[in-house]
């Protein structure tokens, strides 16, 4: 196998989701709505946090970055999945497949660390409120963001360094709608047992360990609040509920796909759809509905936009009147001297 060249396989065939025309039409409409709504929702959160000074705090800085990442989570795989629904032959180039896996794991690793940073932010805000702005200052937030992206890139590169040189000499069909690292490894015409263990350790066990760390941190935070004042427990739980929901939505599919030793295609595809389409759609709704500050800021922005449109419409009408008066004046002037 040492002489096998991976250039034998120049493209990867994706099986996709279904061959039924009716189901393809339904999925096209549903996925398009979810994708566009998710992109617009996350973009709205980013613009709201940037434009509203009341949201210039560490919590909303991290939230805006989470929304920015969620836009990329959808955009890496969803557009191709939607466009491939009506194609009889769904293919992606070998280089495109590698690039897709790279960005999926960069974004996934970055979001994992960012969720830890958000848990740290909530712990400091709830348990050490007097030192909150001192600990979670702008420099700390930037440092956490840089660390998140650095770890995400390293996490992805560690896996792809081994995957790029895999000998692919025969089968090139993936039973998925995007390039999935565990399934891609199985296309190699060599023993991939150790590589699969490495992927499981790098993605599966890290996801599982990070999830338990986050759950323990949330429980620890709630216990501290309960010990100080039982009345503050409900407020703390209300504050953390959005974060806990997002953590479960993010880590649930990752843990199952990368840690479960018995892969099942239908379940894996459903979880992949959930991770790529549904979670980025739900995150803006979760944070918007749970945060009064975000809802108030959005109303403020919408009212400003509405006022701007009224002013613009008034200026447009005024310009029409001025243009009409000027044209009549010029007409009368020309007519007078004829």
Residues 137 and 210 in one domain: yes
From first to last of its 338 residues, what are the pLDDT tens digits of the chain?
A: 444 444 467 788 888 787 788 888 888 999 999 999 999 989 988 988 888 888 888 988 999 999 999 999 889 988 988 888 888 888 888 888 889 999 998 998 999 999 999 999 988 988 888 888 899 999 999 999 999 999 999 988 988 887 887 777 777 888 888 888 888 888 888 777 788 777 777 777 888 888 988 888 888 888 888 877 766 677 777 778 888 888 888 888 888 777 765 556 677 788 888 888 888 888 888 877 677 788 787 788 777 766 656 655 655 555 656 565 556 555 555 555 55
Domain containing 318: what range?
A: 291-337
Residues 38 and 171 in one domain: yes
Query: Does some domain include residue 3?
Result: no
Q: What are residue 86's phi and psi, to 5 degrees?
A: -100, 5
Residues 247 and 296 in one domain: no
Domain count, the chain: 2
Q: What are residue 183's phi and psi, to 5 degrees?
A: -75, -35
- Of 284, 309, 327, the position where a domain reaches its end is 284
Query: Does some domain include residue 2?
Result: no
Residues 174 and 158 in one domain: yes
Tokens of 222: 């709630």
Residues 258 and 302 in one domain: no
pLDDT digits (tens, 9 = 90+) for 221-267: 888 888 777 666 777 777 788 888 888 888 888 887 777 655 566 77
Residues 183 and 329 in one domain: no
Query: Does some domain include residue 5?
Result: no
């Amino acid at each position: 196998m040492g002489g096998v060249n991976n250039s034998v396989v120049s493209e990867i065939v994706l099986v996709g989701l279904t061959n039924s025309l009716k189901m393809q039409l339904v999925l096209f409409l549903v996925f398009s709505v979810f994708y566009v709504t998710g992109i617009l929702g996350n973009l709205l959160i980013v613009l709201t946090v940037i434009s509203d000074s009341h949201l210039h705090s560490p919590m909303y800085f991290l939230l805006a970055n989470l929304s920015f990442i969620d836009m990329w989570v959808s955009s890496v795989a969803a557009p191709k999945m939607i466009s491939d629904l009506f194609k009889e032959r769904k293919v992606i180039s070998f280089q495109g497949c590698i690039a897709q896996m790279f960005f999926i794991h960069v974004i996934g690793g970055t979001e994992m660390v960012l969720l830890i940073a958000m848990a740290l932010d909530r712990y400091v805000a709830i348990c050490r409120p007097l030192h909150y702005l001192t600990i979670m200052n702008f420099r700390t937030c930037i440092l956490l963001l840089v660390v998140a992206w650095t770890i995400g890139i390293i996490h992805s590169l560690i896996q792809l360094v081994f995957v790029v040189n895999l000998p692919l000499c025969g089968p090139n069909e993936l039973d998925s709608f995007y390039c999935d690292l565990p399934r891609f490894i199985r296309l190699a015409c060599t023993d991939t047992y150790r590589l699969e263990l490495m992927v499981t350790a790098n993605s599966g066990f890290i996801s599982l360990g990070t999830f338990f760390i986050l759950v323990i941190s949330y429980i620890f935070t709630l216990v501290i609040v309960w010990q100080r004042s039982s009345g503050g427990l409900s407020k703390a739980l209300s504050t953390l509920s959005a974060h806990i929901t997002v953590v479960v939505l993010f880590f649930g599919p990752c843990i199952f796909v990368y840690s479960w030793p018995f892969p099942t295609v239908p379940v894996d595809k459903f979880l992949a759809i959930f991770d790529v389409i549904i979670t980025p759609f739900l995150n803006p709704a979760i944070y918007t509905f749970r945060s009064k500050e975000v809802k108030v800021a959005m109303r403020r922005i919408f009212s400003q936009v509405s006022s701007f449109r009224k002013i613009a419409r008034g200026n447009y009408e005024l310009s029409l009147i001025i243009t009409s008066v000027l044209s009549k004046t010029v007409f009368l002037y020309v007519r007078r001297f004829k």
